[in-house]
Amino acid sequence: MRAVVMQDGKLRVEEVAEPVAGAGEVLVEVLACGICGSDLHCAAHGAELNAATRTALGVELMDLARPVVFGHEFVGRVVSYGPGTAQRIPIGSRVVSMPALLRDQPVYLGFAGPEAPGAYAERIVLSEALLIEVPEDVPTELAALTEPLAVAYRTVAKAELAQHAVPFVVGCGPIGLAVIAILRMRGCGPIIAADLSPERRELARRLGADVVVDPAVDDPYQVWMAAAATDDPDKMAAPTTLAGPLPLCPTVAFECVGVPGIIQQLVAGSPAGTRIVVAGLCMTTDTFEPAQAILKELDIRFVLMYTPEEFAATFAHLAAGELEVAPLLTGTVGMDAVADAFERLRTSPADAKILIDPTL
Q: Are residues 209 and 191 in the same domain?
A: yes
Q: Are residues 209 and 118 in the same domain?
A: no
309, part of any domain: no
Separation CA 94–CA 76 (nearest Å):
5
86, part of any domain: yes
Q: What is the pLDDT along the chain (360 residues), one digit of tens a residue?
A: 999 999 999 999 999 999 999 999 999 999 999 999 999 989 988 999 999 999 999 999 899 999 999 999 999 999 999 999 999 999 999 999 999 999 999 999 999 999 999 999 999 999 999 999 999 999 999 999 999 999 999 999 999 999 999 999 999 999 999 999 999 999 999 999 999 999 999 999 999 999 999 999 999 999 999 999 999 999 999 999 999 999 999 999 999 999 999 999 999 999 999 999 999 999 889 999 999 999 999 999 999 999 999 999 999 999 999 999 999 999 999 999 999 999 999 998 889 999 999 999
Global pTM reads: 0.95
Beta pairing, strands 211-213 & 166-170: unpaired
pLDDT for the residue numbered 283 = 85
Q: Are residues 154 and 111 in the same domain?
A: no
Q: Are residues 81 and 134 in the same domain?
A: yes
Domain containing residue 43: 2-145+325-356
Task: Find the CATH number of the domain harbouring 244.
Answer: 3.40.50.720
Among residues 287, 302, 317, the one where a domain terminates is 302
Task: Find the CATH number of the domain harbouring 107.
Answer: 3.90.180.10
Beta-ladder partners of 125: 27
Q: Are residues 287 and 332 in the same domain?
A: no
314, part of any domain: no
319, part of any domain: no
232, part of any domain: yes
Q: Are residues 120 and 192 in the same domain?
A: no
Q: Are residues 244 and 210 in the same domain?
A: yes
Domain tally, the chain? 2
Q: Are residues 124 and 14 in the same domain?
A: yes
Q: Are residues 156 and 298 in the same domain?
A: yes
Q: Are residues 162 and 132 in the same domain?
A: no
313, part of any domain: no
120, part of any domain: yes
Q: Are residues 166 and 141 in the same domain?
A: no
Separation CA 204–CA 269 (nearest Å):
21
222, part of any domain: yes
Separation CA 279–CA 173 (nearest Å):
11
Q: Are residues 131 and 227 in the same domain?
A: no
pLDDT for the residue numbered 102 = 95
Separation CA 145–CA 201 (nearest Å):
20
Alpha carbon distances (Å) from 222 to 56, 226, 236, 253: 36, 6, 17, 13
Separation CA 154–CA 300 (nearest Å):
15
- For residues 122 and 358, the answer to whether their CB atoms sit within 8 Å is yes
